[in-house]
């Protein structure tokens, strides 16, 4: 399937718009607005606000994402920011810190796990490493005093 590809060694600062899929292996900063999908590959670095249909993060991402259908942070991917979609998947081995908002769109498939087999224990490990969850922060502050 044809897609715009931004390879390593290329850096874009500004806006990317359009209806063709985009794959980023280089660096992008700014704003991305697509009526298609974007794939941030393993070595890709994106610092941007993204609006798209599907967003796949296998590289480094910082910013906000609003996806019409699906967001996936796959193993090895790092995402930081606020992400919003009807369906979101954070795979085992992925790093995420920030906020997730799952927009209601009937009982949308919401997966927080790797492939189907392993059900529970992996989530803790990756979440604990990047503690940015609201509850503990407030609690420890009062304890300290």
Partner 1 sequence: MEDKKEAAQNTVIIAGTRIEGKISGNTDIRVEGEISGTVELDSTIVIAGTGSSACSIKAKNVVIEGAHTGDITTQESILISPDGRVKANLKTPVISIEKGAKFSGSIEMSF
Which range binds partner 1 by CB under 8 A, 20-28, 80-88, 94-102, 136-144? 20-28
Tokens of 51: 């609006």
Enumerate residues 6+ apart whose C-beta is below 8 A from 39. 3, 21, 22, 23, 24, 56, 58
Shortest distance, position 105 Cβ to partner 1, whole Å? 24
Count of C-beta atoms within a 10 Å radius of residue 118: 10
Return the number of the residue (12 or 123) whose C-beta is nearest partner 1. 12
Sign of the alpha-carbon torsion through 127, 131, 137, 140: positive
Name residue 53's beta-bridge partners.
none
Return the number of the residue (1 or 135) whose C-beta is nearest partner 1. 1
Tokens of 80: 């930081």
Q: Does 16 bind partner 1 (CB under 8 A)?
A: yes
5 by DSSP, 3-state: which?
strand
Which range binds partner 1 by CB under 8 A, 17-25, 75-83, 84-92, 131-139? 17-25
Return the number of the residue (30 or 93) whose C-beta is nearest partner 1. 30
Shortest distance, position 76 Cβ to partner 1, whole Å? 14
Q: Does 9 bind partner 1 (CB under 8 A)?
A: yes
Name residues contacting partner 1, limited to 30-69 (CB under 8 A). 30, 36, 39, 41, 56
Count of C-beta atoms within a 10 Å radius of residue 130: 13
The residues binding partner 1 (CB under 8 A) are 1-20, 22-23, 26, 30, 36, 39, 41, 56
């Amino acid at each position: 399937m044809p897609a715009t590809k931004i390879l390593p060694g290329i850096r874009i600062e500004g806006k990317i718009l359009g209806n063709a899929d985009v794959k980023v292996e280089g660096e992008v900063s700014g704003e991305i607005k697509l009526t298609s999908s974007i794939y941030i590959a393993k070595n890709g670095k994106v610092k941007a606000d993204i609006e798209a249909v599907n967003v796949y993060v296998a590289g480094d991402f910082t910013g906000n994402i609003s996806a019409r259908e699906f967001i996936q942070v796959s193993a090895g991917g790092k995402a930081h920011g606020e992400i919003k979609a009807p369906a979101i998947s954070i795979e085992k081995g992925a790093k995420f810190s920030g906020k997730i908002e799952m927009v209601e769109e009937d009982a949308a498939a919401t997966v927080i796990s790797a492939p189907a087999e392993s059900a529970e224990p992996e989530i803790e490990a990756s979440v604990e490493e990047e503690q940015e969850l609201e509850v503990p922060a407030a609690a420890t502050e009062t304890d300290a005093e």
